[in-house]
Amino acid sequence: MKRLGLDIGGTKIEAVVLDEQGNVVYRQRYPTCKENYPAFLNSISGIIQEAEKHVSETLSIGIGLPGTPDPQTHLIKNSNIQIINKQHFVIDITELIGKPVAVANDANCFALSEAIDGSGMGFHAVFGVILGTGCGGGLVVGQHLLTGPNACSGEWGHNPLPHYNPQRDGITSRCYCGQDNCLESFISGTGLERQYHQNYSKHGKVPDIISLVRANDVTAMQCWDNFLDQVARALASVVNLLDPDVIVIGGGVSNIAELYTSLQQRMAKYVFGNSCGTPLIAAKYGDSSGVRGAAWLGHQKINQAFQRNKEDANERYGASGN
Ligand SMILES: [Zn+2]
């Protein structure tokens, strides 16, 4: 069975169909419908139908979202697409299209994609990190996403920056989530720009700052050096807690070659025992990881349901051949 993945973003939706080997056999982009919730649901249903019509077969379906279905209430929470917050999106879309749909946070989809056939392929425990506008993450163990009773596994962006020191990290930064000094306020692309402005009184986007670093601009180099130290502190805390076999980095910041040159060495200072052998690798599929992970997730859901049915049948009627 081929796998359909949808990556729903704040402005666009990407749909991809993967064959059994992970090759893309269909790809389409749509604007995100944010008119109202019923219109949003209908647009998703239409996108799924169009993909099935194009490949002329029934597909497993997975959807990656900004936000997460709350495990207790099943309502979507923490989404920047306001119309889906507090909605039973998983139930509603399943009823509308009449088929099982797997839904997960977009950072989790990214981690799953990279663990299955991306830069984390062959590693048992993969921590996938997105350093972009924000700072997200997901943990995959044995090619399966780790989820828990709060559906916030991997949400390290809202942990506080370790070893925060106002002299080097600047004044306290209030995060939109209500907490102070969340990692996201420092080690995202937005965080780098904020610090360049607040701590050094300069304006610039990430590519401008990096160009200046490459031109040996002293201020930009200072800002970048402390940014690297912040990333190292943040990742060392992940190693101290989980010690994943690999850390795969995605998002806009992951494309900066200078991120990797000294990061492992910098992390060693903060990892318990003062050494660090964790491989740090850029994501293989870049922006496509989210949609690919959604496709794999849908397929895993169908497989799990099939396995459960088989076990139920064996329990009821006895395993055939015995
Ligand atoms: Zn926060």
* Structural domain spans, the chain: 3-105+287-316, 119-283
Q: Tell whether the model's pLDDT for residue 241 goes beyond 70.
A: yes
Determine the distance separating the centroid of ligand 1 and the alpha carbon of 133, expressed in angstroms.
Answer: 13
pLDDT 10s digits, 271-322:
999 999 999 999 999 889 999 999 999 999 988 877 888 788 788 777 554 4
Q: Same fold for the domain at 3-105+287-316 and the one at 119-283?
A: yes
Q: Closest Cα to residue 99, out of 52, 30, 66, 32? A: 52
Determine the distance separating the centroid of ligand 1 and the alpha carbon of 96, expressed in angstroms.
Answer: 34
Determine the distance separating the centroid of ligand 1 and the alpha carbon of 159, expressed in angstroms.
Answer: 7
Q: Do 278 and 312 contact (CB within 8 A), yes or no?
A: no
Determine the distance separating the centroid of ligand 1 and the alpha carbon of 305, expressed in angstroms.
Answer: 36
Determine the distance separating the centroid of ligand 1 and the alpha carbon of 283, expressed in angstroms.
Answer: 24
Distance CA 322, CA 314 (A): 11
Q: What is the pTM of this model?
A: 0.92
Determine the distance separating the centroid of ligand 1 and the alpha carbon of 132, expressed in angstroms.
Answer: 15
Determine the distance separating the centroid of ligand 1 and the alpha carbon of 182, expressed in angstroms.
Answer: 5
Mean of the pLDDT values across residues 19-26? 95
Q: What pLDDT, on a 0 to 100 scale, did the predictor assign at position 319?
A: 57
Determine the distance separating the centroid of ligand 1 and the alpha carbon of 48, expressed in angstroms.
Answer: 34
Q: What pLDDT, on a 0 to 100 scale, did the predictor assign at position 312?
A: 80
Q: What pLDDT, on a 0 to 100 scale, did the predictor assign at position 221?
A: 98
Determine the distance separating the centroid of ligand 1 and the alpha carbon of 175, expressed in angstroms.
Answer: 5
Q: Do 272 and 96 contact (CB within 8 A), yes or no?
A: no
Q: Tell whether the model's pLDDT for residue 109 goes beyond 50.
A: yes
pLDDT 10s digits, 129-183:
999 989 999 999 999 999 889 888 998 999 999 999 999 999 999 998 899 999 9
Distance CA 249, CA 279 (A): 11
What's the mean per-residue pLDDT of the chain? 94
Determine the distance separating the centroid of ligand 1 and the alpha carbon of 178, expressed in angstroms.
Answer: 6
* Beta bridge partner(s), residue 129: 137, 249
Determine the distance separating the centroid of ligand 1 and the alpha carbon of 157, expressed in angstroms.
Answer: 7
Domain boundaries 119-283, corresponding CATH code = 3.30.420.40
Q: What is the DSSP string of 112-125?
A: HHHHHHSTTTT-SE
SS3 218: helix
Query: If you search the block for the tokens 């596994």, which residue do you land on?
Result: 153
Determine the distance separating the centroid of ligand 1 and the alpha carbon of 49, expressed in angstroms.
Answer: 37
Task: Kindly state the percentage of the chain with pLDDT values over 90.
Answer: 85
Determine the distance separating the centroid of ligand 1 and the alpha carbon of 131, expressed in angstroms.
Answer: 14
Determine the distance separating the centroid of ligand 1 and the alpha carbon of 322, expressed in angstroms.
Answer: 56
Q: Do 220 and 205 contact (CB within 8 A), yes or no?
A: no
Q: Do 169 and 186 contact (CB within 8 A), yes or no?
A: yes
Q: Tell whether the model's pLDDT for residue 193 goes beyond 80.
A: yes
Question: What CATH class has 3-105+287-316?
Answer: alpha beta
Determine the distance separating the centroid of ligand 1 and the alpha carbon of 177, expressed in angstroms.
Answer: 4
Mean of the pLDDT values across residues 217-229? 98
Q: Which whole-number Å values give the CA distances from 200 to 133, 222, 316, in the listed order?
A: 20, 9, 70
Determine the distance separating the centroid of ligand 1 and the alpha carbon of 289, expressed in angstroms.
Answer: 24
Q: What pLDDT, on a 0 to 100 scale, did the predictor assign at position 321?
A: 44
